[in-house]
Copies of this chain bind each other. A is one copy, B any other.
């Protein structure tokens, strides 16, 4: 049996064809700016990936979408970076077009699900997935199942307060981890993360210091989550995680300092995402698995 996973990002949409947890094919396209274009792309690329496969052998399509979705997982709620999908019952529309079972989930939850079931968190009881990019997303997987929370809103690690009187956040809060551990942090230092990464790669002192400071904030947020939910594994992904080696030591130092349980401090594993940029799409495919 086959499944298709679609990770709809603000700029890029990634597709995978998955069979028994293995990626058979993958394809990335630019995300269309309007709903019609996006639906056409989802149809065309899915049909392409499924060419030669009988529909009776296809479990369905999973969609990973940015931003909050409603508790029933039928509608996207005001995605800040994908306004064309605002309050649209995307899964239902896709299901109508493609005549395949379609499910939808928040993209960071898809990321966490993929890494928990097939990637860095395999065989773990409690997995926390964190995506570092233009924002900070998160997902919690307990005993192989997504912890969606009472109102479908769990996993928002990016909006945990790590600095009570700190920077105002676009969510309306203050001192949110996202202000210190997303792209926004690097932009305040003067450039995109990629620019700092290139410099750090060449041994640039300032760039290395910027990554260290970044890691300390990220580490404080991760420590808070460890103290509350005590995961076996924390998996880190998203665009900024390509600079993993430049910030991981600072993260670990903060965990050593801020995690209260001696056993959690000692045994918790922090890992890089195994599926790289494709984790979200793989997790989306798992939704219909």
Chain A residues close to B by CB (< 8 Å) = 68, 70-71, 77, 124-126, 138, 140, 142, 147-157, 159-166, 171-176, 180, 217, 220-221, 223-225, 227-232, 257-264, 267-268
Flag if A229 contacts B228 (CB, 8 Å).
yes
Flag if B225 contacts A150 (CB, 8 Å).
no
Can you offer 19 A-B residue contacts whose CB atoms are under 8 A? A68-B260, A71-B263, A77-B262, A125-B150, A126-B149, A142-B142, A153-B263, A156-B228, A156-B260, A159-B227, A161-B162, A161-B223, A161-B224, A163-B163, A164-B166, A164-B217, A173-B259, A173-B260, A174-B257
Flag if A140 contacts B229 (CB, 8 Å).
yes
Flag if B268 contacts A151 (CB, 8 Å).
yes
Flag if A162 contacts B159 (CB, 8 Å).
no
* Identical subunits present: 2
Q: Once bound together, how far apart are the Cα atoms of A231 and B160, in whole Å? A: 14
Q: Which residues of B contact A225 (CB under 8 A)?
A: 228
Flag if A149 contacts B230 (CB, 8 Å).
yes
Q: Which residues of B contact A77 (CB under 8 A)?
A: 262
Flag if A138 contacts B228 (CB, 8 Å).
yes
Flag if B258 contacts A156 (CB, 8 Å).
no
